[in-house]
Structure 1
Amino acid sequence: MATALLIIDMQSIFTSMTTHALPNILTLIAYFQRTSRPLIFTQHGHSKQELTPPFKNQLVRKWGPDGSIAIGSADWALQPAIADAVKKAGYPVVGKNTYDAFMNSGLEGMLLQQKVERVVVCGVMTDCCCDTTARSAFNRGFETWLVGDACGSASEEQHQAGLKAFGYAFGPVVETEGVERALEGL
């Protein structure tokens, strides 16, 4: 079964939320590279048009234009270690403007083209974009794993709530070391 790693929104604005997750994400990236498995990154942002009234994007309405990430801004940039990984190997970066990386993007087509049947999700925020994207993958028929120690959120409480909710109804919550162990024989 082909397995892809989805690295969600590892952007500068979220650096403080990913202190503990980043080393594990880099471990997963290295493992997927070494084993020639697909890696896909996402990058959340809003266009100038979306940040100008009237606000048609639901997230911009919720967080306001000042609480939203503008495409091209310093906050929008990928964290340096992640940007290096993308640049070195030319991995795809899927732009998104909502929590679900499958919405309004070609992500599903990219996965299907590579015959992916399982996705491993990590990144930020556990309880928003990671959870929503992982649930969406599950609902599209992909076996879906959420990597608990390779996700981060605004608080430990939110992080744990996201992991608990996903694990209850959608798929396993695994740790970085467990991903490598589980995929070794595949």
Structure 2
Amino acid sequence: MKALLINASPKKNGNTARLVGLVADAFRQKGIQAETLCLGEQSYSFCKGCRGCYKTAECVQRDDMQKILEQMAGADVILIASPDYWGDVTGHLKVFIDRCTPYSKAHEPHAALPGGKRGISLALSAGEDPRECKAILMKIDNLFRTLGIKPAASFYTCGILTEQDLERDEGKLAEAAFFASEIAKALVP
């Protein structure tokens, strides 16, 4: 089994990466091949709104999106994790979602990922209001459904402002590690 874990943060080594790393470790312990990718290190442009993909099921732009979508096509499990940026996903993830327009079933022809994929959504917030994290999870799960990926699990944590906050809060770390372990067990009983 192969998993692609996407960190939607612009930071490669922040709190989101730490949570993704916990899941990657749990997956590897269960024999799941886990590859991580940080959207902040990729180079892709805004959707131009040209609707060229409505005719060809392919984006007219050539950048790292094709590579990311190929990695998604080859994965059985796809995890997307986003920190809370003003009550929403990061700009990196929003642009990524927009660039998935060739896969929208709102037009024919449309591109499609191979079937049978499962999705995991993660969100974290500096604030204490869980509604913002829940909105992020809903947006990621909506992307999964649009891409034909079955949402399988989600996790969020609030009150994480700095890397030190996550590392100092043993309860939050333990809760995230438990989630990672349980989802790994569920994927490989």
TM-score norm. by structure 1 comes to: 0.47
**Which is bigger in relative contact order (C-alpha 8 A, separation at least 6)?**
1
TM-score norm. by structure 2 comes to: 0.46
